[in-house]
Amino acid sequence: MADRSILRVENVSKNFGGLVALSEVSFHIEKGDFFGLIGPNGAGKSVMVNVISGLYSPNKGRVEFDGRQITGLRPDRIIREGLSRTFQHSTLFFDLSVRENIMMGVRAMADMGLAEAILGSSSARSKDKAIEDRSQEVIDLLGLEQQAEEVAANLPYGLQKIVAIGIAIAPKPKLLILDEPLTGLVAAEVDQVMGHIASLNQQGMTIFIIEHNMRAVMNFCSRIVVLSFGNKIAEGAPGEIQRNREVIKSYLGE
């Protein structure tokens, strides 16, 4: 059982001054899962993602990724371990083209040295080619061919969200964390984005999604954890979560 899990969150607590954002939260995600984290606004979902990805360090508890403790590592190191994340609001390099945005995500970008960049050595050219090939693959995969040379700021919101996913999947992560990828999208865009996410999952990528769109979460997720005021109140398959009295109470009140 232990070797099947890709992410282990153990007793994580996070306070901001007197505010308890997360209190002793534990859960784990197994390889290949389509995992959902839900909860009312202010439940601590984004804080959890920020703790996992190293943006915040937890006051208590630990996070293990692919058998290795990642608590306290620098965010860029955590990303290089094979974990990618997107942000709640469409976060892109708005002045760059779609292609350049996706290139930024490619793992080989980190290997490019200053001297070889200036001299344009054969090693630089082969790295350039690897980066360009991988970004082209991602563009094809997400159907962004027509917008590839477009400046990201000019894209409709739905496509911006897809480009953000493109940056995140460019390094071929083992785990993809999506923080509210559907917020602000119209129904057709929701189907398009969820279609891409589902096909990534079918190709073997573990998905961790935070979302308010219950229909999408219940249709796609295999396991769900529910947070409320920083506490884990439920965990299970979509059917169980929908019947859980605690969950209904936290969403609708008494």
- Cβ closer to another protein: 103 or 210? 103
Least distance to another protein from the beta carbon of 248, Å? Answer: 35
Least distance to another protein from the beta carbon of 64, Å? Answer: 19
Least distance to another protein from the beta carbon of 155, Å? Answer: 15
Containing 220, the helix (H) or strand (E) segment is helix 214-220
- Cβ closer to another protein: 44 or 171? 171
CA–CA distance, 144 with 75 (Å, rounded to integer): 28
- Cβ closer to another protein: 25 or 103? 103
Paired with 235 in beta bridges are 225
Question: With 0-12 CB in 10 A as exposed, 13-18 as middle and 19+ as buried, what is 188?
Answer: exposed
CA–CA distance, 79 with 85 (Å, rounded to integer): 8
Selection from 205, 200, 212 nearest residue 251 by Cα: 212
CA–CA distance, 79 with 104 (Å, rounded to integer): 13
The half-sphere exposure of 56 on its side-chain side, counting CA atoms within 13 A, is 19
Least distance to another protein from the beta carbon of 189, Å? Answer: 21
Least distance to another protein from the beta carbon of 70, Å? Answer: 13
- Cβ closer to another protein: 19 or 112? 112
Containing 196, the helix (H) or strand (E) segment is helix 187-202
- Cβ closer to another protein: 14 or 85? 85
CA–CA distance, 203 with 184 (Å, rounded to integer): 27
Which residues of the shown chain bind another protein in the complex (CB under 8 A)?
Answer: 53, 74-76, 79-80, 84-85, 87, 91-96, 100, 103-105, 107, 109-110, 112-114, 117-120, 124, 127-128, 131, 167, 171
CA–CA distance, 79 with 176 (Å, rounded to integer): 10
Least distance to another protein from the beta carbon of 15, Å? Answer: 22
- Cβ closer to another protein: 167 or 190? 167
CA–CA distance, 112 with 64 (Å, rounded to integer): 29
Phi, then psi, of 62 in degrees rounded to 5: -145, 160
- Cβ closer to another protein: 10 or 116? 116
Least distance to another protein from the beta carbon of 226, Å? Answer: 26
